[in-house]
Each structure stands twice: as structure tokens, then as C-alpha cells.
Structure 1
């Protein structure tokens, strides 16, 4: 009886946190996973032209980050403890009526093989002083996995969960997050063509 109850609870929990497809268009798939606190964990997947080197060049071109990261005003690398570790400060232009946000993150990028790059991102809110007119996002976790499928084709998978902080209704925060992920991937696919493969 206890085993049956345990299996029932596990199955119910597993079902509650399954990925649900939110969007599939323009070569971009967006999935959502409802968490117990009301926030959504998001996943986006695409296959597009490019290579590991071009994606990394896009990522490190922080001066032009606002041209593909949705609602991002500015990205600044504060310091790099090592060639593959970076402390990054990001400012967001949030859509009305949401106040502008900012965040500080620690990221680590590494090649797991000749055909794969992985990036892990986590919040580091206390590394940089809080700025006036911005609400600090203090809880964020994200990851990128980029696979080289052929000479000039890559698959890109992104997962993220973030608490936007402040007084935002959950439905509005989740809606903006899903829109941002899709628009980021759409602009990313177009912008990748500007970076060459070595």
C-alpha cells in the first residue's frame, strides 16, 4: 500500500512538472514547465545555420547584445576570473507597466567536446552594487547547450528560470518571459549569420 501511494505521488509530481509546448513556429520551439511557486521554467530549441565558434562570438560581442537579447538595454562584463568564467551585469528595458530590471550573473562556458559547447549561468547579485531606478533580479539559473550537427548547422537549447522580483503578477511575469525567449531566439537566428565560422 505504501509503495502504491509512493508511486502515485511520484507520478503526480512528474506529471505536474512535465514540459508543455507553448510555441512552435519559425523554426523555434518553446516549452514551459510549471513550478510549485507559480513561476515557469522555460526551454527553447532551434536548429539553425552557424557553428560553435560563431555562437561564441555572438555571445562575447556584448556591445551588440541588445540587438538580439529581447528587452536588454546593456550588457557589461565586469570581470573574467578565467578565460571561460565571466561576471556579467545586464540591464533590462522592461515593457510598461513593469519597472526596469537588472541582474548580475556568473557564467561558465566550456567545450565538452569538439562538437558541443555548454554554458551555465547563475545569479551573483551581491558582486555589483544595486543601481537606482532598477530592481535587482536575485534568483536566476540558466543553461545553453549548443551542438554542431554538420559543417554549418547547429542545434541550440536554452533553459532558464528567473524570479523577476518586485510586485509583478505571476501571469504577467510569465507572459513576458515567454515572449522574451521566443523573440531572443528569432533575432539570434538572424544575427548568427553575421559571425563567421573559423
Structure 2
């Protein structure tokens, strides 16, 4: 395997670059501002996929709870109703794991799936965190090749920056550059910023408000994202992982009509919401 194929854990530079994107002020074009959520897009060099950023603040949930929600796969099965499947596959170190995620899309758009490396850190440490950062990016795994009934999407970068502002409040930034692949109609792409991203934020907020009560009855001491000694995932085997994303056939989905709406997207990498879902 070539060095360029090797999947490496995120390092301090990767987290610093992600944080810089979350906090940068220049060249962003605002496309949505409502209910304390601001969404903006930014063109990236050498890519036709825009970078998208949503910024908000929560006054009724802690930063630690939000961090738990975006990690807890078991809880995700309760509130992510469009998820088809999610498997935590392996790890390459204590704070870098590989997962598979598949999600439903509205007819006639095919379901999407993604294999991704999830990397996270708390500064200065997990005991007294002043900020949390979580980054996801697509990788390939030999046991999870593309399927004929799904389109293998690519997360160029997706993640969260969470900063506590009090014991029960936090600033929250969601940033993504996500390529759904396939030959999608233009309206689907255009609606991502104006429709999907705010719904991502509202759904995470709603899930976070209910998490503490739920967790008390569901393995309350099990949080391997905080305590790595609890992680039972196997180490990745040589040759299983590649930093190169899988090559897939381009599927024409231009028969999709605008009245169908769209509910596709990303979390622990992807999060998907329905069009009629509103913030409480």
C-alpha cells in the first residue's frame, strides 16, 4: 500500500485547521438566519463542493451533553429515524475510530452510505474541557465495499466545534463539505443550505435535551468516547483501510422532483431530518 493510501489519526494540526475554519470570518456567504441559527457557505479551491457552516448557541444543554449525543451510537438509533444502519467497525487509536453509516433518502433518490474516520479531542483535557472538536472524513474499508442499492457518498470534512459558555449552555458550530455523489438534480443541491442544515441543528438540540434522562437507564457509565479503556473495537488490520475513497458508478437521479422534498445529510458523520420536523 502506498503512503498516500494510509489512514492516519488526526493530529493537532488537523484539529487546529478545523477550528480555524469554524472561526474564520472571510469569504463566507450567509444563506440562512433564523431561530438563533446562522448558515453560511464558502467556495473551496480545487473542489466544486461548497463548505457549509452552521453556528448557534444552546442555553439549556451542556457542552458535554452535546458531545455525548454526537458520539452515542445506541442513542442515535432512538432519534435518527432515517438511519438504515450504523456500525462502529474498528479503531486506529484511542480517539480515532472507523464507522459505517447508511441513510434513507426520499424516492426516487437512492439511499446514501459512507465509511468514515471519526477523530475527536477535548482541550486542554477531558476532565476540564474548554472546547470539544470532532472531525469525520471518508475512508475505505475492505469489509464495507459500495453496494448496488446505495450510493457511496464522500465526507471531505464534517465535524463539530463545541465550546461551553456555562454549566448548562454552549456555543455550537457544525461544519461540512459533503459530496452526495450520483447525478442529483440541481434543486437538491441548492436546498441543502436553506433547508437541511438548520434541521440538523434543531434535531441535535432536541436529542440533547432528552439525553441525560435516557442515558440514566441505558448503560449510564458506558462512554468510551470519554474513557478509552471501555472501547472494545478491534484494531484495524493491515490492508483493511485506505485513505482513498471507493470508486463508484455515477447514478442518474435527475428524475427527482422538487415537491418530493429532501431529507438527506450527515452526523457522527450524517444526520437526517424530515421536512415537517420543527424545533420545539
Report the TM-score range of the alignment, normalised by the length of the smaller protein: 0.7 to 0.9
Q: CA deviation at 1:95?
A: 2.1
Question: How many pairs does the alignment contain?
Answer: 182
1:140-167: per-residue Cα shift (whole Å, max 9, x none)?
Answer: 2112110011111011101111111111
Paired residue for 1:25, among 11, 20, 34?
34
2:31–2:193 contact (8 Å) kept in structure 1? no
> For 1:186, what is the secondary structure of its paired residue?
helix
CA distance in 1, matches of 2:44, 2:192: 17
Root mean square deviation, CA, Å: 2.5
Find out whether 1:102 has 2:117 as its counterpart: no
Find out whether 1:118 has 2:128 as its counterpart: no
Structure richer in strand, relative to its length: 1
2:57–2:171 contact (8 Å) kept in structure 1? yes
1:28–1:45 contact (8 Å) kept in structure 2? yes
Q: CA deviation at 1:67?
A: 5.4
CA distance in 2, matches of 1:182, 1:96: 22
TM-score when scaled to structure 1? 0.80
Paired residue for 2:158, among 116, 122, 142?
142
CA distance 1:26–1:69, shift in 2 (3 Å): farther
1:13-42: per-residue Cα shift (whole Å, max 9, x none)?
Answer: xxxx82111111122111112446543211
CA distance in 1, matches of 2:102, 2:29: 29
Runs of 4+ in 1 over 6 A off after TM superposition: none
2:32–2:193 contact (8 Å) kept in structure 1? no
2:164–2:170 contact (8 Å) kept in structure 1? yes
CA distance in 2, matches of 1:110, 1:41: 22
1:125–1:137 contact (8 Å) kept in structure 2? no
CA distance in 2, matches of 1:151, 1:102: 36
1:109–1:118 contact (8 Å) kept in structure 2? yes
Q: Which runs of 5+ in 2 are unaligned?
A: 1-25, 214-220, 222-280
